Chains A and B, each alone.
Chain A
Amino acid sequence: GAGVSQSPSNKVTEKGKDVELRCDPISGHTALYWYRQSLGQGLEFLIYFQGNSAPDKSGLPSDRFSAERTGGSVSTLTIQRTQQEDSAVYLCASSLVGGAFRGGYTFGSGTRLTVV
């Protein structure tokens, strides 16, 4: 596609429920990144994919968080047993190759997750 597409754009869920957030990167971008942004804060790195593998998942805050990428394209971030502190905007970005040296990231518009 022309840009990075994320769905849903907004998600309200009850505490304890599982949620899945989807990211469809730019076609041909091999690198994909997930970030989280709490209200008024900077971006917190979660996980990086190169192709279908995740060489850096150091930012996942707990084992309730997992992510996968299939076919070198679409990625899904899953949060199990959601907690109120998981409320944030989840941003996905892609780039042509791993490492931003060759250019910047292209971000999606994010999924605003609210846990009630």
Chain B
Amino acid sequence: SQQGEEDPQALSIQEGENATMNCSYKTSINNLQWYRQNSGRGLVHLILIRSNEREKHSGRLRVTLDTSKKSSSLLITASRAADTASYFCATELQGAQKLVFGQGTRLTINP
């Protein structure tokens, strides 16, 4: 079964609105990361949050991590058409040196 599961699978909002995506995982982690993928090719690293951190900001991105609930959320504020992409959460498991990716959320920003 997947370590990371994103919710929702797809999200469509109007430009200017905020977009929230959630990720749940099953086992203890070192850190959790969010990536963006355009057009089904290479992924771009957005933000990393360590297991001892609860919230992190980067520009219009805000990530939260709740290790007691084994969940994370990615908030994109003031969305733009260029934010249209698939967003993946990825966890680095304790004792492992690889990332395990979820299935992704397909975000569409309508002009």
Contacts and interface: CB of A to CB of B under 8 A. Distances in A.
Contact of A101 (B2, B31, B102): B31
Contacts of B44: 107
A41 B88 CA distance: 10
A51 interface: no
A41 B35 CA distance: 14
Contact of A42 (B48, B88, B92, B97): B88
Nearest to A110: B41
A77 B4 CA distance: 26
A50 B97 contact: yes
A104 interface: yes
A56 B101 contact: no
Nearest to B2: A42
A104 B33 contact: yes
Interface residues of B, number: 27
Nearest to A111: B41
Given A41-B103, A98-B97, A89 B41 contact: yes
A43 B99 CA distance: 10
Give the residue among B31, B41, B90, B98 with the most A Cβ atoms within 10 A: B98
B2 A91 contact: no
B111 interface: no
B45 interface: yes
